[in-house]
Structure 1
């Protein structure tokens, strides 16, 4: 559900960086304000996550459909909890996506992964990086987990869902706790810097802007 204010900002040809700041960084979170009706929970979650990771709370941001009410990465811009409303199955509830921006943490985890994989040893990868808790398919027609991981890594995005199964993320305790509290999956994306997060978000905002101009939404 595209909000009126976001649509107006996109139509008015405002600078995309301003739109990103206003709606993605500073705007209210749709899930915590409109679904849960407990906006303070957002800051409790972000505070605990920032403390566990020893970063500033301002470097943890709710993004995705939990932030603006619909998914910007899908062609049809699916509304938050759209599948859940049709099936009532908990597994179809929308995720709570959180972006973490920290060059230090990004570099630390990169070094840990380098050592963990025996310096990206090919034999180790073939034996240990084929499936994980998120993706179990060994379909030869689909990209391998390491290929997917490094595709996003090159964009400054450390994606935990493509990591080797036994690589422990440092936010595991907080995420596990809040997954039980909210009864929803919490997905973390770690960005090396604000530029990479902004570019990812504004690329999709540009697509929305185009669809508005073409009167598709």
Structure 2
């Protein structure tokens, strides 16, 4: 982690930061699968088969990828979650079609939603605006097609020792395209870099 942060501090411009993000975070075998490339392939294949997308559209981000969290400055441990980024415009639009139906019902006042759930839904829409579909932010009232429940049922089924990744909880979201994942990753690194500069 110290080497990573030191190298990040030395990055001088946006082009170099983008290259750093690609090389250090998006490219290569994740820390959690270090020395287990076949298991990594099988894990990606398992998720891809469930959603009927390509295995190359499955990424691991966060501390499971690096072995530490540069944001929290903590090491990867058995208490860490595995963060999966699915990059698929087809899946993104399939899920957004359900949101369209939900939004129409909400607009026509055919469903009752609490203020707390509306706030959660607005947070969900903020992520959608940057190309990231996060089912964990869907309101509990969102039951069209049971998409929320089926999503969490699947990822629970591959968590806690029930898949190649091991004894960890698996979380996931869907990015509209690789560009959106890259931009989100770039933005996160930019934030960490700024915090390092403030500390100096």
Partner SS for 1:126: coil
Aligned to 1:183: 167
Q: Secondary structure at the match of 1:168?
A: helix
Mark the runs of 5 or more structure 2 residues left unpaired by the alignment. Answer: none
| TM-score when normalising by structure 2 | 0.78
Give secondary structure in 2 for the equivalent of 1:183. coil
Question: Relative to 1, partners in 2 of residues 1:143 and 1:206: Cα closer, same or farther, differing over 3 Å?
Answer: farther
The corresponding residue for 1:155 is 130
The separation in 2 between residues aligned to 1:29 and 1:120, in whole angstroms, is: 41
1:52 counterpart residue number: 50
Q: Deviations over 1:169-207 (max 9, x none)?
A: 565565233214233211111111122211111112112
Alignment of 1:25-44 (within 5 A): 25-33=26-34, 38-44=36-42
Aligned-partner SS, 2:75: coil
Rate the CA distance shift 1:197–1:214 in 2: closer, same or farther, 3 A: same
What residue number does 2:147 align with?
A: 168
Distance 2:119 2:199 in 1: 38
- Partner of residue 80 from structure 2, selected from 87, 94, 97: 94
Please report how far the alpha carbon of residue 30 of structure 1 lies from its aligned counterpart in structure 2 after TM superposition.
1.7
Unaligned segments of structure 1, at least 5 residues: 85-92, 131-137
Q: When you count helix as a share of all residues, which structure comes out higher?
A: 2
Match of 1:119 among 104, 119, 134: 104
Q: TM-score, normalised by structure 1?
A: 0.73
1:124 shift after superposition? 4.7
Q: Is the 8 A contact 1:48 1:174 kept in 2?
A: no
Which sits farther off after the overlay, 23-32 or 155-164? Answer: 23-32
Q: How far apart, CA to CA, are the structure 2 residues paired with 1:8 and 1:143?
A: 41
Structure 1: distance between partners of 2:5 and 2:88: 27
Match of 1:16 in 2: 17
- Could you say if the C-alpha distance between residues 60 and 124 of structure 1 is closer, same or farther in structure 2, counting changes exceeding 3 Å? farther
Q: State the superposition RMSD in angstroms.
A: 2.8
Query: In the aligned structure 1, how far is the partner of 2:193 from the partner of 2:46?
Result: 35
CA distance in 1, matches of 2:28, 2:139: 34
Structure-to-structure mapping, 1:60-75, within 5 angstroms: 60-72=58-70, 74=71
CA distance in structure 1 between the partners assigned to 2:121 and 2:199 by the alignment: 39
Task: Quote the residue 2:75 is aligned against.
Answer: 79
